[in-house]
Structure 1
Amino acid sequence: MSDYLKTQIEDAKNGDRAALEAVVRDVQDNVHRLAMRMLVNPDDALEATQEILITVVTKLSTFEGKSAFKTWVYRVAVNYLLNAKKVRDRDPGLSFEVFREDLHAGLVTDPAPSGEEDLLLSELRISCTMAMLLCLDLKHRVAYVLGDVLEFDHTEAADILSISKANFRQRLSRARNEVVAFTSAHCGLATNNAKCSCPRRLPAAVNLGRVQKERLVYAQIGEPTYEDVLNQARSVEKSLRTLILQRSMPALTCPNDLGARLAEIVNGESWQSSSDRT
Structure 2
Amino acid sequence: METGSEIDERDLVARAVGGDRAAVADVVRLLQDPIYRLALRMVWRPADAEDATQEILLRVVGNLASWRGEAKLTTWAYRIGVNYLLNLKRQTPQEQRQLSLDEFGEGLREGLAEEDYRGPEATLLTHEVRLNCSQAMLQCLGRDERVAYVLSDVFEVNSEEAAWIVGATPAAYRKRVERAKKRLGNFLRSTCGLANPQAFCRCSRRVEKAVELGRVDPKRPAFAAHAVTPGGRSVAEAERQMIRLHDAAAVLGAHPDYAAPQSKMEAIAGLLASGRFPLLE
Q: Give the TM-score normalised by structure 2.
A: 0.86
1:185 corresponds to: 190
CA distance in 2, matches of 1:24, 1:46: 14
Correspondent of 1:241 among 223, 247, 267:
247
Deviations 1:29-55 (A, max 9, x none): 010000011111111100000000010
CA distance in 2, matches of 1:47, 1:138: 18
Correspondent of 2:235 among 223, 235, 245:
223
Structure 2's unaligned 5+ residue stretches are: 227-233
Q: Do 1:264 and 1:270's aligned partners in 2 also have CA atoms closer than 8 Å?
A: no
Q: Do 1:119 and 1:225's aligned partners in 2 also have CA atoms closer than 8 Å?
A: no
**Alpha-carbon RMSD:** 2.7
* Shift in CA distance, 101/225, structure 1 to aligned 2, threshold 3 Å: farther
* Shift in CA distance, 194/259, structure 1 to aligned 2, threshold 3 Å: closer
CA distance in 2, matches of 1:198, 1:89: 21
Please report how far the alpha carbon of residue 167 of structure 1 lies from its aligned counterpart in structure 2 after TM superposition.
0.8
* Shift in CA distance, 111/84, structure 1 to aligned 2, threshold 3 Å: closer
CA distance in 1, matches of 2:63, 2:242: 43
Moved more, 51-60 or 83-92: 83-92
Please report how far the alpha carbon of residue 225 of structure 1 lies from its aligned counterpart in structure 2 after TM superposition.
8.0
* Shift in CA distance, 98/179, structure 1 to aligned 2, threshold 3 Å: same
Residue correspondence of structure 1 range 19-98 to structure 2 within 5 A: 19-86=23-90, 91-92=95-96, 93-98=98-103
* Shift in CA distance, 258/120, structure 1 to aligned 2, threshold 3 Å: closer
Q: Do 1:17 and 1:263's aligned partners in 2 also have CA atoms closer than 8 Å?
A: no
Higher RCO structure (Cα 8 Å, ≥6 apart): 1
Q: Do 1:36 and 1:252's aligned partners in 2 also have CA atoms closer than 8 Å?
A: no
Please report how far the alpha carbon of residue 110 of structure 1 lies from its aligned counterpart in structure 2 after TM superposition.
2.8
Q: Do 2:193 and 2:199's aligned partners in 1 also have CA atoms closer than 8 Å?
A: yes
Q: Percent identity?
A: 36
Structure 1's unaligned 5+ residue stretches are: 273-278
Please report how far the alpha carbon of residue 4 of structure 1 lies from its aligned counterpart in structure 2 after TM superposition.
2.6
Q: In structure 2, give the amino acid aligned to 1:6.
A: R
Please report how far the alpha carbon of residue 200 of structure 1 lies from its aligned counterpart in structure 2 after TM superposition.
1.7
1:170 corresponds to: 175
Q: Do 1:190 and 1:241's aligned partners in 2 also have CA atoms closer than 8 Å?
A: yes
Q: How many pairs does the alignment contain?
A: 267
Please report how far the alpha carbon of residue 66 of structure 1 lies from its aligned counterpart in structure 2 after TM superposition.
2.1
Moved more, 14-23 or 211-220: 211-220
Partner-residue secondary structure (3-state), 2:168: coil
Q: In structure 1, give the amino acid aligned to 2:256.
A: P
CA distance in 2, matches of 1:225, 1:113: 22
Partner-residue secondary structure (3-state), 1:111: coil
Partner-residue secondary structure (3-state), 2:206: helix
Q: Do 2:131 and 2:255's aligned partners in 1 also have CA atoms closer than 8 Å?
A: yes
Please report how far the alpha carbon of residue 130 of structure 1 lies from its aligned counterpart in structure 2 after TM superposition.
1.3
CA distance in 2, matches of 1:173, 1:90: 22
Please report how far the alpha carbon of residue 2 of structure 1 lies from its aligned counterpart in structure 2 after TM superposition.
3.3
Partner-residue secondary structure (3-state), 2:247: helix
CA distance in 2, matches of 1:87, 1:215: 23
Please report how far the alpha carbon of residue 156 of structure 1 lies from its aligned counterpart in structure 2 after TM superposition.
0.7
Q: In structure 2, give the amino acid aligned to 1:79.
A: N
Q: In structure 2, give the amino acid aligned to 1:34.
A: L
Please report how far the alpha carbon of residue 267 of structure 1 lies from its aligned counterpart in structure 2 after TM superposition.
5.3
Q: In structure 1, give the amino acid aligned to 2:258.
A: L
Q: Give the TM-score normalised by structure 1.
A: 0.87
* Shift in CA distance, 112/259, structure 1 to aligned 2, threshold 3 Å: closer
Q: Do 2:95 and 2:140's aligned partners in 1 also have CA atoms closer than 8 Å?
A: no
Partner-residue secondary structure (3-state), 1:2: helix
Q: Do 2:82 and 2:165's aligned partners in 1 also have CA atoms closer than 8 Å?
A: yes
